[in-house]
Amino acid sequence: MNEIFREIEEDIRRDQMSKIWKKYGSWLLTIILAIILLTVILVWWRQQQENQQYERAIIYQNAQDIIASGNYTNAEDLLLNLVKYEDGYSMLARFELAALRVKSGKLEAAINLYKGISEDQGVFYPYRQLSMIKQALLLIGMPEINADSLADMNRTLEKSLKAPTPLALALSINEVRILLHLKLGQILEAKQGIIRIIDNPNAPVNMRRRLTELLKTIE
């Protein structure tokens, strides 16, 4: 008797499954095929991304090797090829291009490149701050520079510190601001900045020692 009931239940299940498949089978097949297709596309896209990143890494390394050999023109061509991509290698290439401008004595061009990085909303903010530091150091090193440009740079650095900033980077920014104050002849402001860093127990020993010596020369 139990076997008869089991056979009846199995027939009912098969009949129900048959009805469900007839009603939803094509729809379920479409969903399954779409999932398979999407998975294939995602795997392909990731592979393409990895290949492109590998290719850009090779280009960047080649540019580094060429720079080391002193052939700046060929290196610039490779770096300019990387700049057009919106990724980490693009940002690195922009920094390298600015550094090459400095080595070539094209300081104004280098400053403009660093300024472009600092104003690029798509760049991670600490890197934008780093570009501000490099820009400021170039301005400080120029024998003839407009005081307004130095003052604007100082305000830009000060404003940048309103954003969350790693301690080491914040200290470096403040050290550069001290140099800007000195370049502008603002001795009191420079001394105050030096003392704040010297009194900061979290400041690196070398930085505190360096600024202590600087303070002695301007007192």
Query: What is the residue whose two structure tokens read 């490149």?
Result: 113
Q: How many domains does the chain have?
A: 2
| End-of-domain residue from the set 45, 71, 105 | 105
Two structure tokens written together for 13: 């299940």
Do 117 and 202 lie in one domain? The reply is yes
Tell me the CATH number at 169: 1.25.40
pLDDT in tens, the chain (219 residues): 555 445 545 555 555 666 666 666 666 667 666 666 666 666 655 666 565 666 776 777 777 777 777 777 777 888 888 877 777 778 888 888 898 888 888 899 999 999 999 999 888 899 999 999 999 999 998 888 888 999 999 999 999 999 999 999 999 999 999 999 999 999 999 999 999 999 999 999 999 999 999 999 886
- Residue 22 shares a structural domain with residue 94: yes
90 and 17 in a common domain: yes
Q: Examine the domain organization and report whether 84 and 175 are in the same domain.
A: no
User: Which of 105, 125, 145 is the last residue before a domain boundary?
Assistant: 105
Shared-domain flag, residues 192 and 85 = no
Residue 184 CB neighbour total at 10 angstroms: 15
The candidate with the shortest Cα–Cα distance to 179, out of 157, 201, 159, is 157
- Residue 112 shares a structural domain with residue 200: yes
Last residue of a domain, one of 78, 105, 132: 105
Domain extent, residue 162, equals 107-219
Q: Are residues 70 and 45 in the same domain?
A: yes
